[in-house]
Amino acid sequence: MRLFLTSLFLVSANAMAACPPLLDRKVETIDEKQQSLCQYQGKVLLVVNTASQCGYTPQYEGLEALHRKYRDRGLVVLGFPSNDFGGQEPGSNKEIASFCVNQYAVDFPVFGKSVLKSNSFYMALEKATAEAPRWNFHKYLVDRSGTRVQSFATQVEPDDPKLVHSIEQLLGARK
């Protein structure tokens, strides 16, 4: 009985752990359903605004490689397609999903196409870093607690040693 109550208390305490304000919001998935970002609390997040017809589109390959290499340690890459820069993501969500899977075998979560300036998650990331994306494939790295956010410019490739080092540091850190 005592073990049961202790286990029940631990489950209840974990269930009651508040979602960090940064993640406490719903976003549209690529298949146009609503999803809470709270499901990613406790993970290290690499958030990227993507586009299918950009000179930086080959970064999908490196992003997927990061996702596969570090997902078992707690990294989640989150893709947010946007047509904001140069009209380089003109397709529908269905077309974007097909492109990601067929061209780059993307397995990380990709959300519905959005306008970044009206995306509450992106507005919070910008506020946290004082840096807005200036082009496609801008990266935000969020720690496990959802409180520390780093910004990496479009030109920083997914295999850039500075980005990889930052990811590894956050994966090794505890909340």
Query: Per the residue annotation, which of 19, 38, 54, 100 is the catalytic one?
Result: 54
Both structure tokens of 45: 């997040």
Whether 8 contacts 14, CB under 8 Å: no
Whether 157 contacts 62, CB under 8 Å: yes
C-alpha angle 63-67-73 in degrees, rounded to nearest 5? 145
Report the relative pairing of strands 44-50 and 149-152 from DSSP bridges: unpaired
- The secondary structure of residue 48, as a DSSP letter, is E
Whether 163 contacts 156, CB under 8 Å: yes
Does residue 54 carry a catalytic annotation? Answer: yes
Residue positions annotated with a catalytic role: 54
